[in-house]
Amino acid sequence: GEQTASYDAIYGAYTDHQRMITHDGHKLIVYPKINKMRLFDLSSDPWEEHDLIAQPDQKTRVADLQNRLQKLQTAMDDPLAIEQQPQ
């Protein structure tokens, strides 16, 4: 039979300009060169029009996604530093 892979999260990278993680219906995008992050709820906002990063009730989610993103970076041998990005 055919095996299929199952992933807990999806990791994305674009040169040294952007890192991204999608997990549990949310997408966190980090722009390290300009110290910016964006957060989207893909289930209610699939076109990514409403950035949730500044909403106080999203702080825990942002911290979790940042942690997951850093772990994926380590797993992918991605040396770009993204920690401590302002919201």
pLDDT, tens digit, for every residue of 25-73?
A: 999 999 999 999 999 999 999 999 999 999 999 999 999 999 999 999 9
pLDDT of residue 19: 94
pLDDT of residue 24: 94
pLDDT of residue 5: 66
pLDDT of residue 84: 55
- On whether the CB atoms of residues 39 and 61 are closer than 8 A, the answer is yes
pTM of the model: 0.86
Higher per-residue pLDDT: 5 or 80: 80
**What is the rounded end-to-end Cα distance, in angstroms, of the chain?**
46
Higher per-residue pLDDT: 4 or 74: 74
pLDDT of residue 7: 73
